[in-house]
Chain A
Amino acid sequence: MRKGVVLVWLVMLFCTGITGCNKKEGGTTEAYNSKKPLTISVFTIQQKQQPPADNKIYKWIKEKYNVDFTWDILVGDKDQKIGVLIASGDYPDLVEVDSTKFQDAGALIPLEDLIEKYGPNIKKHYASAWKKMTEDDGHIYCLPNWGVLDGRDQSTYYGDSALWIQKDVLKEFGYPQVKTVDEYFDLIEKYVKKYPAINGMPTIPFTILTYDWHDFCLINPPNFCAGYPNDGNGTVDKIDGKWTYRDFLNQDISKRWFRKLCEENAKGIIDKSCFVDNYDQYIAKLSSGRVLGMHDQRWQFNDAMNALDVAKMHDRTMAPLPVVFDESITPHYRNRSLPNIRRGFGITTKCKDPVRVIRFIDAQLDEETQRVLHWGIEGEDWQYDADHHPYRTQEQRDEQKDAAWILRNKADLWYQTAPKMEGSFSDGYACEMNYIPSEFLADQKTEDVELWKAYGVSSDAELMDRDPPENTPWFPMWQEVPPDGSETQLALNKCSQAYRKYLPRIIMGKPEDFEKNWTEYAKALDDAQIDKYNAFMQEKLDARIEKYGSK
């Protein structure tokens, strides 16, 4: 027994000796050390499925970098889950940041020093956005997931706000020019008169998504129709020589839009049940191909568009239009690419080896890995043709849209939120293979190509705006969110209760009652103390102008 105990002690001493004598990792430009395995635990708010263990790209990452991931995927209410995570203090290594909650709770570590020492690629990639990424306390807590471009922007995707219209409506009337709100609704009315039913079910001319936090679809249209970009719940104008922020809820532009909706409702154009539907019911309506028009942002109804494609009803999918109130207004729907500040991964205080994590993120920013993450494995997901031009076969293109295939063959959860190359690779090809012109047009449906040709453009993005104007220095104001528990947030909450209550009444009311209903609504907004929100945003606007200058 004695001998056994001594032996055990000797072995233990030996082991501690070995590990203790390992040279501490130092140096700055040392290559990523893939000898030790690293498991990164991640909390993500993307509501997707867990990737299977045999996922092709995660295996590739494991082979190359000896890194694998454990995912804590959000189920249920995002704010509640984040609240519980913060209250417990039990953070994983990385969390997906989408607000100031984690930062305020002191859960994130500052990254700028780590990046300076161990992340040269990261520093280079974010050079243009470095100032905006730095918070007021001088630290960087989050690595933006999208919007920081390397090289030329070749995107053909338009995913922002627009007044969407069913492609068949445009086709039916020979692809007319639809520039104003009146023209938009006239076209829809004409189509509904001609086709009161689609596939046996009644046509829905115009619907609105009003459920829960999606209700920005209800209040946003006037902002864009008046030619303002997306600055949150208000507009920035130069009033008396000073840049002023005013919420648009009670401006004339909103009154104009909702008066139009009220008139359209009297003609039976507005889908009445949209005020009680939830998000799933909205998507279901869109997926049935009966909806002719709505105002929304593309990423919100992506599922419906995919469902229509699966059902081979591509002519019933939606095309975006930059509609404004009248010809005198220049539309400003599309913007130049913006770094998606405060949205991306942050490293938590509970991460045991932040240096290795930064090293890994830095290493995966190299072109070869990025090509695998974006395009896939050469020979399996894409290949070069005889002219050394990358292309995909039709089968490979279909795979890229199949959710089940993506789950097994793309590192989607990591790729969507991690720092990535965007724009173009060094060989000139777009980072997103879909944007390579030959790939893009080959993969488009004939209806789309026809539509774009009729309007003289080559993509949805160009349809909205061929060359968007430069962003104002303070853009986008929607990033300024009132801090939790503040009076401003309370005021905003009460305002949302007010507009959720009165706007449906205004729209569904009689046109004669419009003025009366609007006055009631305006009073409710005042009672909700919306000027507190305006004061807060003005303060933030002034701070931004000071930091980044004004036009």
Chain B
Amino acid sequence: MITGKNMYKKNRDISAGIINPKKTFWQKIMKQRQLVYMSLPLVVYVFIFKFVPLWGWTMAFQDYKPAKHLMQQKWVGLKWFVFLFKDREFLLALRNTVCMSVISTVLGYITAIIIALLLNELKHIGLKRIIQTVSYLPHFLSWVIVTGLVSSMFSVEDGTVNNILMSLGFMKSPVLWLSEPKYFWWIIGWTYVWKEVGWNTIVYLGAITAIDPSLYEAAEIDGAGRMQKMTHITLPGIRSTVIIMMIMSAGHILDANFEMPFFLQNGMIQDVAQTVDLYVLRYGFSSFNYALATAAGIFKNVVNIAFLLFANWIAKRSGEERLI
């Protein structure tokens, strides 16, 4: 309670400029020091393992030979970057990476959201749990196993897919699915969906439960049907979550899954199967050309960060949630 004496003290102090209403940066830190202590080890870890190794980016500008010192290396400027962009194979790899990434992500989103919406409509708790558990179990399988499964399912010798299609009469003789360029990206996309949809659904289900139930009640009173409730309440309700997830995915656009193309690639589909990572593996690591590998890595980083910032800016401009 402001008594007479205190009131005048405050005014006097303000006019004397003694009380600084804004706290300094350090004062804020001191106030939150427990939080700072907790996060300090992780910050140090990130600094040591993610930022300090960035000095290795110098490799991209040299004709790097391992076992020689930094000072003994030959500096070649942008030679490897020019090489990358002149190489038709790299540009193809770039195209493949972007396409596979986009297809997988888009399919992943649509299916995860649809399944989340459908699961939300399910009233029987037991069934909901069972479906959820079964759907996210494949997430824990390693990609090696999954590609082995895919490989045997699509094989011409007794492969499940061929058997089913032939017995249903759609084809006369088995098709070598994994050798056709036109099917490859879709095989990758749908395998990714099968593996990850259950896991991604968890996020959206969580977001849906955060929607205020009174909105549903109000809609019920207004006479909204199931579909209308979904489109007018649920979808807008999880919109901010979806957008945050999309912004985060934008930062991974050049990070197409490594294991799937690696295990499923073969000579006939190499034009559509080779991603940037596989290109780097073949022409960088296996040929001992670390400079090239680093140059490609830097390029990926730059593109990913650019996309992330771009997506964030678009979100900001449209008045949506943003990450940064």
Contact = CB atoms under 8 A, between A and B. Distances in A.
B267 A83 contact: no
A196 to B, nearest CB: 14
A503 B288 contact: no
Contact of B267 (A89, A210, A278, A485): A210
Interface of B: 63, 65-67, 89, 151, 155-157, 176, 178-179, 263, 266-268, 270-271, 282-283, 285-290
A505 B289 contact: no
A493 interface: yes
A441 interface: no
Given A89-B67, A276-B178, A493 B283 contact: yes
Contacts of A490: 283, 287
Contacts of B287: 484-485, 489-490, 493
A303 interface: no
Interface of A: 77, 79-80, 83, 86-87, 89, 101, 104-107, 202, 210-211, 215, 272-273, 275-276, 278, 281, 484-485, 489-490, 493-494, 497, 499-501, 503-505
Contacts of B271: 501
A281 to B, nearest CB: 8
Given A101-B288, A210-B266, A497-B270, A276 B179 contact: yes
Given A83-B285, A484-B289, A490-B283, A275 B157 contact: no
B267 A273 contact: no
Contact of A106 (B67, B176, B263): B67
A504 B179 contact: yes
A484 B89 CA distance: 19
Given A83-B285, A484-B288, A493-B282, A273 B66 contact: no
Contact of B288 (A83, A272, A500): A83
Nearest to A202: B157
Contact of B67 (A105, A215, A505): A105
Contacts of B89: 494, 497
Contacts of B155: 273, 276
A79 B268 CA distance: 24
Contacts of A484: 287-289
Contacts of B66: 83, 86-87, 105
Which of B63, B67, B288, B290 has most chain A Cβ within 10 Å?
Answer: B288
A500 B270 contact: yes
A99 to B, nearest CB: 10
B187 to A, nearest CB: 12
B179 A275 contact: yes
A501 B270 contact: yes
B73 to A, nearest CB: 13
Contacts of A77: 285-286
B286 to A, nearest CB: 5
A5 B287 CA distance: 58
21 contacts: A79-B285, A79-B288, A80-B286, A83-B66, A83-B288, A86-B67, A104-B65, A272-B176, A273-B176, A275-B176, A276-B151, A276-B155, A276-B266, A484-B287, A484-B289, A485-B65, A485-B288, A490-B287, A499-B267, A500-B266, A500-B268
Contacts of B288: 79, 83, 101, 484-485
Give the top 3 A-B pairs by smallest Cβ distance, nearest first: A500-B267, A484-B288, A105-B67
Contacts of B289: 484-485
Nearest to B155: A273
Nearest to A502: B267
B286 A505 contact: no
A123 B168 CA distance: 72
A494 B285 CA distance: 15
B270 A273 contact: no
Contact of A275 (B67, B267, B282, B283): B267
A482 B165 CA distance: 48
Given A77-B285, A272-B176, 8 more contacts: A83-B66, A89-B67, A272-B156, A276-B268, A490-B287, A493-B287, A500-B267, A500-B268
Contacts of B179: 272, 275-276, 504
Given A80-B286, A484-B288, A485-B287, A501 B67 contact: no
Contacts of B157: 202, 273
A246 to B, nearest CB: 23
Nearest to B268: A504
A211 B285 CA distance: 19
B285 A80 contact: yes
A377 B179 CA distance: 53
B205 to A, nearest CB: 38
A493 B288 CA distance: 13
Nearest to A280: B148
Nearest to A497: B270
B267 A501 contact: yes
Nearest to B178: A276
A22 to B, nearest CB: 34
Given A106-B67, A272-B156, A276-B178, A79 B286 contact: yes
A272 B268 CA distance: 12
Contacts of A86: 66-67
Contacts of A504: 179, 267-268
B267 A503 contact: yes
B126 to A, nearest CB: 41
Contacts of B266: 210-211, 275-276, 500
